[in-house]
Amino acid sequence: MQINKTRVSSVIVMAGTLLTATACGNSTSTNPSTSTPAASANAASSTSASTAKASSEQVTYKLMTHYSNDSEKQPVDLAIAEVKKQFPNVTIAPEAMANDNGEQLKTRIATGDLPDIVDINGQTLPNVVKSGSILTLDSFYAANPAYVDKLAKNIVDNQLKYTDGHIYTFPRTGPSVDVLFYNKKIFEQNGVKVPTNYPELLTAVKAFNAKGIVPITSFAKQAWPIGAFFDIFAMRANPEGMMAFSKGTAKASDPGYTDAINKMAELIKEGVFQKGAVTADYDTARALFYSGKAAMLINGEWEISDSVKNLGDDTVDFLDVFPVTDPGKEDANKMALPGGFEMNGFAVSKNAKNSELAVKVAAAFTQAYQEVSFKTTGSTMTTIKTDGITPDKPLPKMAVKLLKVKGQYITKSQVEHSLPNQKFAAAFGEELQKFVAGEPASLFISNTDKMIEKYKE
């Protein structure tokens, strides 16, 4: 939820009216002006094709993106193959991006070693924009209305223009929600009730710990999953969750937030997360869930395909309601979910060779990546319209379930590192990690209120 949501690996896809109604999934067109790889190969944009084919010069563009496991590599490799059909003189060389909250990328920006095409998330975008190290894409979008027309309307409305009014990326992922995944067999085998309210969740946490099972595994080395955990509780009192902190319209000491924070603190004290959660990375935390050593996992909806692959379609599911309210209040803002829009996408370095061609290649790759992902792995977070695109396989049960209700979800907050008040976001992220490490609720509340006031814009 890019994330710095890590990592978009999507779900397998279902055709028919469901997809038409939701316009969700991942899809690709290697040609900025066409909708399918086949069409792209045969009817490439005349401008792009002529640019690539008019010269016999072989050009290699380095692409930095998430490329660490099979689920990440497959859509990238397939998209590169499609782009090669349109631009036969161009080679795209993928490079794995570190899951480190963008630290590696920041270093490369500072040293002037930015790859030609780079996957940017909401946390890193302000840095590359400020540094002037990526190109503005306004002219490309203006000159290619057919490319824009293939984007989903919510992407055009919410994820193109940066705060300065310029466009810097070809969006990689659309809006996503964070949910609480759970292993149904672990609950059944250990006689633990799937919780629907806070007392039942507290009971489950104690029961799993008594059996040596991690209740909820988290990769809190990154602050955003703890931000999602925070919003799961806080949104029952205020659908804006931590967004209201970022805007300065709410405080941690407000009664609803205080109640939510105290519940979180109690769960943390009871061992809701694995030991050393604040040093656990993405793959380590998920491995606990896949191996059956953890009962639950908080992650973005992109997790669906990998969870199904590792645990099975009948074993893993996500909770219908967050079990964080008092009994009788289960419906309190129940459709308010963490996640939301994040400015992200593939950007082009100002130092890329033949910048005009590089922009066209990046555009073609992005659409190819979207369609390939939709057809082969079924992302529910596509940035393009999916009408008429036939998926290779049916959606897993969780994806069908998600798409049926996703349009009803309320996502008024954002990913922790993408909160509009960046100074507050950075400080609050660190505070969240201290909270998970055992900081008392009273100190967390006090420190957060001070941050809200200090960084109020």
Q: Hey, what domains does the chain have and what are their CATH numbers?
A: 17-175+341-389 (3.40.190.10), 176-339+411-454 (3.40.190.10)
7 cis-preceded (ω within 30 degrees of 0) = yes
Q: How far is CA 127 from CA 107, 407, 451, in A?
A: 11, 32, 22
Each residue's pLDDT tens digit, 140-186: 999 999 999 999 888 998 889 998 999 999 999 888 899 999 999 99
Lookup: tokens for 260: 């939510």
Answer left, alpha or beta for residue 331, where phi above 0 means left and psi between -120 and 50 means alpha. Answer: alpha
Q: What is the dihedral of CA 126, 132, 134, 136, to 10 degrees?
A: 90
Each residue's pLDDT tens digit, 155-165: 998 889 998 99
At residue 55, the pLDDT reads 53
Q: What is the mean pLDDT of the segment spanning 373-383?
A: 82
pTM of full prediction above 0.85: no
Give me the chain's average pLDDT, please.
87
CA 171 to chain CA centroid, nearest Å: 12
On the question of pLDDT at 50 being above 70, the answer is: no
Asked whether 337 and 178 are in contact (CB, 8 A), the reply is yes
Closest C-alpha to 49, from 93, 87, 104, 99:
87
Closest C-alpha to 102, from 222, 212, 19:
222
51 or 399, higher pLDDT? 399
Closest C-alpha to 204, from 180, 227, 220:
180
Each residue's pLDDT tens digit, 98-122: 877 678 888 888 888 899 999 998 8
Confidence of residue 322 (pLDDT cuts 50, 70, 90): very high
Contacts with 190 (C-beta within 8 Å, 6 or more apart), sequence order: 207, 208, 211, 213
